[in-house]
Amino acid sequence: MSNSPILITGATGFLGGFLAGELIKSGRRTILLVRPKGNDSAQQRVENLLRFLNIKAKYEPVVIPAQIDRPGLGLSQEHRRILQNVPEVLHCAADTSFAERKKEQVETTNLQGLQNVFDIVPNCERFFHMSSAYSAGTQEGLIKEEIQYPPGFHNPYEQSKNEAEKLITDLCWEKRTNLTIFRPSITYGDAATGKSLRFNALYFPVRTMLFIRDSLKKDILERSGKRAAGLGASINENGSMHLPLTFPGSGQLNLVPINFLVKAVTAIMDSGETGIFHIVNPKSDTIGQLAQNIERHYSISGLEVADEVVQDGPLQTLINSYMDVYYPYFCDKRIFSDYRTRKMLEPFGIECPELTSAVFKRCMDFAVEAGWGSKIRV
Amino acid sequence: MCNLSNNKQLTNNTSDVLHTALRCRHYAMCKVDFLGTGICPSGQKNHFVSFYPQGMMDLTAAVLENRIPVTTGIVQVANECTLCGICDTQCYFVTELRPLRVFQTLKNYVQDYLKSNAPVEVPSDDFLNKLRAITGEKYATNDPGLLMAYSNDPSPISFETMPRYVVVPSDTQQVSEIIKLCLREGVEHTIRGNGSSAMGFVLGRGLIIDTIRMNKMEFDTSNRAVTIGAGISAFELQKAAVARGYRVHAAEPSALYCANIMCSGLFSLFSSSYGTGTDNLIDVEFVSEEGNIFALSQRDSPNIYGFNINEPPIKAICTQAVVKLHPIEEDESAIGVPFSDMQSALTYAQKLNKRHIGLGIGVLGGEYLSTFISPTSALAQTLRNVFHKELGIEYLVVVLGNKHHLEAARDMAPVVIEQEVFRALILGIPALGEEGLIQILRGMEGEAKPYELLAKPQMLPIIEAALDPSPEQLSQAVDSDLKAIYKKLYSRTEFTDILWLNTFRIVSSRMGRDGHLLVYILYVPLDNIPQIEEIHEGFKELTHNCGVRGEFGFLTPIDQGAMGIFEWDMYVDHADPQEVEKMRIAMEKVAVMLDEFSQKDARVLWIRDVLNKGFSRKEAYLYHGANFS
């Protein structure tokens, strides 16, 4: 393991936070670029992160307040000098918004931000770039671990991640910097502890279901129940809540837990390998399994899966609003080859665990406990 | 005199009472029955503002701070107060202040004082005797205890000015005689409406003429007209008009209608169809500087309709007005159209007005919206966050109209929040701040903005299930002893009816809940929206730099989208000298900024240019650049 410092961006985000935690825990010297948030300084946010991850640092991370979408990252001369000779960068900062109306903001962070970070480390020898499996865009079928040239993209996020891969490839080529690109699929919490820092993607449908369940249960038990009845909801004899809802069902759902991602990424970083690595689950899930898990663990019935959703009642409107956005990921026609990744990880016995019913419950229970993130201050 | 500072240390309790007493905003909402719970009986009986809660707050503060002696007038005020509590509900509804304990303290204080002292009695004088000869004994006074309530104003640019006399005449003839008396005796006079002029221009050292008793109101529905005396408030006029199936164009409910026109002209969301200036007046009666009575309909009357930006207003007292009645249709209602940027909101509002769509149109800022519909300041703060950060609503265009207006407005709108959704949001307001519905909407991440999802008609049952909107739910937000009365108030559908709330405007005075409100009204051309945005940004920057709070209020398009009435508000704790000083500096800078805008574009007028010229024809000032003079 190298003892030279590594610069980490996005260190208080989901992937960057867990990766920063692991590198700090393992005794790496780290420099973290962190955006102050609300009343919390960059330093405070990192302290909160380490407390959340329960990590004691052997070497205290050097925390530098920064805004990557600003040229020069808004750094002081002193901080620029510190970064002058940084040999390694793990770039995790990203804007993960999908909406077209946020395109400019996404491009600024994911493209201009990347350029800004690269410019600030003129002597960088190795650049680790966190991309996404979904930079493959609207292609279907097998997606290889190489730069992709898809016919289109589902949203500005995918496009920005694809363009960022090309940008960083060119930048590293020009400066003879070693480049490793990681492409994770949908990432959820730690399969062992349930911990997570972000509660969208897999979590949001569950959150929505529980919100609907609790609101309507209250209506039935504490009020007249007229509103629940109007929505076709009722309480079953066993006390579970019947919600007449349909999920779009074809295709697959590729999910990896954050603890696997951390192990895989750090192992590849340590290996010195360059190139592109899919951090994906060889065994995809389905939305049907997701619906089953929600029903099993959260006293809900009535969830159906169909190729085409025709129902358009109030509850379905709410679910569809989300599913419309996540459809390409929940009903995925892409198959991600992880040949290079598996080849790297097999010698270490690192495998992606399944999203079992128990793991699902552990992660969702943590999310509920954490108020879907509202009680976590990082 | 009982020297409180020497003889009794201010207890914490007294200190709290004083804190409340000093913070009356003088909005005079205690002088109108806007909740249907009655009006202060002592005020109604005795007329002087000193007997209304507004004046009693001032008197109590002055007594507790040892600024005035306990006079016979103050003893009468204390004795007449029955502690009925009407004021407590009214004042809490508007400002969250609880005046009842203030008046209990005043009564206790006076009672203690009288145990060992006699009240100070101020003898009458010749001028007062002459005044009383005109109005009757009890309608004129020189008692400093009663005068105190006419001596100050929350405006940062006004200073305490003690008058010598106050008179409450009953009709035009008495006003005429009073003016002639003042001329003869060399006593200066100041006319006054219900509260304050918001800028402190109703103070004077001589005689204050309080028009509250001039309460004539005669309907002539065959001519679609109502004649009102200068003591009629906008609320009582509107209430009487609505009861007859009509609506008048009225502004602040507690403002005396005639004084309100004189001060600034009437403007509201209804200005987009009912106009402003003299658009709603059939005739007006005045008493001139010399005490002569004249009506605008007389061919030889002074030309008050005219406007010249450089000339001072004509000094005449409006004593009566004949006001237009507008018929109410059965299918009238309201919708809200949310926007995330000012330009889109203004463009939409202007388009509606150009096409004569809507009885009323207003682009409201988030501050306005959240403050209006929240029963408490804390909830308003939460709601601001919900509207702005969570839902992305920066501006809401409220459209009032009949079903045909609203159909057209819906057709032209990107998203519409219907009346029923507003009702659910208002009644479910305590739950809006809790984790749940709003976070779910925000988390959708799709192309639709969170507010677009909220506005979908299919969402209403979910909103209702999540918020459980009901009078009970809303009442959870208020002080525990007021829950029952709030439950009753909000059981009345009008309290959640956007059209009714705009007709009677009972919640607009909540703007002053967090401090005294300084209102900057501008007339701006709507063909230059970037200029409006520039003015808005100028206000924002200036208030930020001066360390004062300010927010965009509203903009109403008028005269077929040619011009807009634009309001920007600044807030000050008028009892905090440091804040007042900061606000004075800010006001000076605002004046410089607005003058610069007016120099660049003469069509930009601001309140200072039109003050006390409210009887001018709107065309005469909106397009004053085209006048011959």
* Distance of alpha carbon B26 from alpha carbon B6, whole angstroms: 30
Residue B445: pLDDT over 80: no
A88 and A197 housed in the same domain? no
User: Which tokens is A253 given?
Assistant: 């759902």
- Residue in B440, B442, B453 to test binding to A, most A beta-carbons within 10 Å: B440
Kindly list the residues from chain B whose CB atom is less than 8 angstroms away from the CB atom of residue A315: 462
A218 and A111 housed in the same domain? no
What are the residues whose beta carbons fall under 8 Å from the beta carbon of B108, sequence distance 6 or more? none
Can you give the residue range of the structural domain that contains A363?
Answer: 191-253+283-332+354-378
A152 and A19 housed in the same domain? yes
Dihedrals phi, psi of B355, to nearest 5 degrees:
-95, 15
Three-state secondary structure call for residue A110: helix
Where does chain B hold its CATH 1.10.1060 domain(s)? 4-116
Residue listed under structure tokens 């005269």: B559
**Within a domain: residue A270?**
no
**Within a domain: residue A347?**
no
Q: What is the CA radius of gyration of chain B?
A: 24
Question: pLDDT tens digit string along A230-249?
Answer: 999 999 999 999 999 998 87
Burial of B411 (0-12, 13-18, 19+ CB in 10 A): exposed
**Within a domain: residue A262?**
no
User: Which tokens is B94 given?
Assistant: 């508007």
Q: Which of A33-42, A184-193, B305-314, B348-357 has the lowest mean pLDDT?
A: B305-314
- CB-nearest to A200 from B436, B437, B445 is B445
Contact A188, A255 (CB under 8 A): yes
Is A231–B456 a contact, with Cβ atoms under 8 angstroms apart?
Answer: no
Mean pLDDT score of chain B:
94
**Predicted local confidence at residue B433, as pLDDT:** 81
**Predicted local confidence at residue B14, as pLDDT:** 84
Question: pLDDT tens digit string along B162-189?
Answer: 999 999 999 999 999 999 999 999 999 9
Report the amino acid identity of residue B523: Y
Give the containing element (helix H, strand E) for A83: helix A77-84
Is B456–A207 a contact, with Cβ atoms under 8 angstroms apart?
Answer: no
B465 close to A (CB below 8 A): yes
Q: Which of A134, A167, A184 is at the close of a domain?
A: A184
* Distance of alpha carbon B101 from alpha carbon B60, whole angstroms: 11
- Strand segments, DSSP code E, in A78-190 are 88-91, 126-130, 141-143, 178-184, 186-188
Q: Average pLDDT in the B92-110 region?
A: 96
**Within a domain: residue A263?**
no
Question: pLDDT tens digit string along A3-46?
Answer: 789 999 999 999 999 999 999 999 999 999 999 998 999 999 99
A167 and A127 housed in the same domain? yes
Is A231–B461 a contact, with Cβ atoms under 8 angstroms apart?
Answer: yes
**Predicted local confidence at residue B11, as pLDDT:** 56
Is B465–A227 a contact, with Cβ atoms under 8 angstroms apart?
Answer: yes
* Distance of alpha carbon B443 from alpha carbon B112, whole angstroms: 62
Query: B393: phi > 0 → left, psi -120 to 50 → alpha, else beta; which?
Result: beta
- CB-nearest to B445 from A99, A216, A372 is A99
Burial of A56 (0-12, 13-18, 19+ CB in 10 A): exposed
Question: pLDDT tens digit string along B32-82?
Answer: 999 999 999 999 999 999 999 999 999 999 999 999 999 999 999 999 999
* Distance of alpha carbon A33 from alpha carbon A180, whole angstroms: 20
Q: Which of A111-120, B302-311, B411-420, B583-592 has the lowest mean pLDDT?
A: B302-311
Kindly list the residues from chain A whose CB atom is less than 8 angstroms away from the CB atom of residue B344: none
Query: A251: phi > 0 → left, psi -120 to 50 → alpha, else beta; which?
Result: left
Dihedrals phi, psi of B551, to nearest 5 degrees:
-150, 155
**Predicted local confidence at residue B473, as pLDDT:** 94
Q: Average pLDDT in the B108-112 region?
A: 96
Torsion of CA B334, B338, B344, B345, to 10 degrees: 40
- Residue in A95, A97, A211, A231 to test binding to B, most B beta-carbons within 10 Å: A211
**Predicted local confidence at residue B4, as pLDDT:** 41
Contact B32, B253 (CB under 8 A): yes
Residue B196: pLDDT over 80: no
Query: B200: phi > 0 → left, psi -120 to 50 → alpha, else beta; which?
Result: left
* Distance of alpha carbon A316 from alpha carbon B280, whole angstroms: 50
Is A372–B439 a contact, with Cβ atoms under 8 angstroms apart?
Answer: yes
Residue A311: pLDDT over 70: no
Measured between CA atoms, how close is A101 to chain B, in angstroms? 7
Question: Three-state SS across B213-274?
Answer: HCCCEEEEHHHCEEEEECCCEHHHHHHHHHHCCEECCCCCCCCEHHHHHHHHCCCCCCHHHH
CATH number of B4-116: 1.10.1060
Is B460–A208 a contact, with Cβ atoms under 8 angstroms apart?
Answer: no
The predicted complex's ipTM stands at 0.86
**Percentage of residues of chain B with pLDDT beyond 70:** 97
What are the residues whose beta carbons fall under 8 Å from the beta carbon of B123, sequence distance 6 or more? none
B439 close to A (CB below 8 A): yes
Question: pLDDT tens digit string along B309-350?
Answer: 988 888 899 999 999 999 999 999 999 999 999 999 999 999
* Distance of alpha carbon B576 from alpha carbon B578, whole angstroms: 6
Residue listed under structure tokens 């004795």: B79
Q: Which of A102-106, A195-199, B194-198, B610-614 has the lowest mean pLDDT?
A: B194-198
A152 and A215 housed in the same domain? no
- CB-nearest to A324 from B446, B462, B464 is B446
Kindly list the residues from chain A whose CB atom is less than 8 angstroms away from the CB atom of residue B456: 317
The contact set of A with B (CB < 8 A) is 97-101, 200, 204, 207-208, 211-212, 215-216, 218-219, 223, 227-228, 230-231, 312-315, 317-318, 321-322, 324-325, 371-372, 374
Contact B103, B149 (CB under 8 A): no
B542 close to A (CB below 8 A): no
Please count the structural domains in chain A: 2
> To 5 degrees, how large is the angle CA B295–CA B299–CA B304?
55
* Distance of alpha carbon A313 from alpha carbon A311, whole angstroms: 6
| B2: confidence class by pLDDT, cuts 50, 70, 90 | very low
**Within a domain: residue A278?**
no
User: What are the angstrom distances between the C-alpha of B384 and each of A22, B394, B434, B453, B539?
Assistant: 40, 9, 14, 18, 19
Three-state secondary structure call for residue B527: coil
Dihedrals phi, psi of B398, to nearest 5 degrees:
-90, 130
**Predicted local confidence at residue A249, as pLDDT:** 76
**Within a domain: residue A343?**
no
Question: pLDDT tens digit string along B532-547?
Answer: 999 999 999 999 999 9
Is A314–B459 a contact, with Cβ atoms under 8 angstroms apart?
Answer: yes
| A254: confidence class by pLDDT, cuts 50, 70, 90 | very high
Measured between CA atoms, how close is A375 to chain B, in angstroms? 11
Dihedrals phi, psi of A204, to nearest 5 degrees:
-65, -40
Is B453–A321 a contact, with Cβ atoms under 8 angstroms apart?
Answer: yes
**Within a domain: residue A267?**
no
**Predicted local confidence at residue B56, as pLDDT:** 97
**Predicted local confidence at residue B443, as pLDDT:** 87
Q: Which residues pair with A248 in a beta bridge?
A: A306
* Distance of alpha carbon B97 from alpha carbon B482, whole angstroms: 13
Q: Average pLDDT in the B608-619 region?
A: 91
* Distance of alpha carbon B63 from alpha carbon B102, whole angstroms: 11
A227 and A373 housed in the same domain? yes
Measured between CA atoms, how close is B580 to chain A, in angstroms? 28
B464 close to A (CB below 8 A): yes
- Residue in A96, A103, A203, A227 to test binding to B, most B beta-carbons within 10 Å: A227
H-type helices in B47-193, by residue range?
53-64, 72-80, 86-95, 100-116, 126-135, 144-147, 172-185
**Predicted local confidence at residue B200, as pLDDT:** 63
**Predicted local confidence at residue B8, as pLDDT:** 45
Nearest CA in chain A to B450: A321
Question: pLDDT tens digit string along A66-78?
Answer: 999 999 999 999 9
**Predicted local confidence at residue B537, as pLDDT:** 97
B547 close to A (CB below 8 A): no
A180 and A195 housed in the same domain? no
Residue B3: pLDDT over 50: no
Is A314–B439 a contact, with Cβ atoms under 8 angstroms apart?
Answer: no
A81 and A17 housed in the same domain? yes
Contact B247, B328 (CB under 8 A): yes
Burial of A46 (0-12, 13-18, 19+ CB in 10 A): buried
Kindly list the residues from chain B whose CB atom is less than 8 angstroms away from the CB atom of residue A372: 435, 439
Q: Which residues pair with A62 in a beta bridge?
A: A31
| CATH code where residue A64 lies | 3.40.50.720
User: Which tokens is B240 given?
Assistant: 């009487």
User: What are the angstrom distances between the C-alpha of A181 and each of A130, A163, A184, A371?
Assistant: 6, 13, 10, 33
For strands A275-279 and A178-184, give the pairing.
parallel
Is A227–B456 a contact, with Cβ atoms under 8 angstroms apart?
Answer: no
Residue B1: pLDDT over 50: no
Residue B292: pLDDT over 80: yes
- Show which of residues 496-525 on chain B sit within 8 Å of chain A, judged by CB atoms: none
**Within a domain: residue A338?**
no
Report the amino acid identity of residue B413: A
A63 and A177 housed in the same domain? yes
Query: B460: phi > 0 → left, psi -120 to 50 → alpha, else beta; which?
Result: alpha
| Interior/surface letters A331-363, b for 16+ CB within 10 angstroms, e for the rest | bbebebebebbbebbeeeebebeebeeebbebb
What is the 8-class DSSP label of residue A33?
E
Q: Average pLDDT in the B88-109 region?
A: 96
Kindly list the residues from chain A whose CB atom is less than 8 angstroms away from the CB atom of residue B476: none
Contact B509, B94 (CB under 8 A): yes
B472 close to A (CB below 8 A): no
Residue listed under structure tokens 């809540």: A241
| Among A247, A213, A217, A205, CA closest to A372 | A205
Question: Three-state SS across B395-435?
Answer: EEEEEEECHHHHHHHHHHCCCCEEHHHHHHHHHCHHHHCCC
Question: pLDDT tens digit string along A278-308?
Answer: 999 999 999 999 999 999 999 999 999 988 7
| A270: confidence class by pLDDT, cuts 50, 70, 90 | very high
**Predicted local confidence at residue A307, as pLDDT:** 81
Mean pLDDT score of chain A:
95
Question: pLDDT tens digit string along B461-480?
Answer: 999 999 999 999 999 999 99
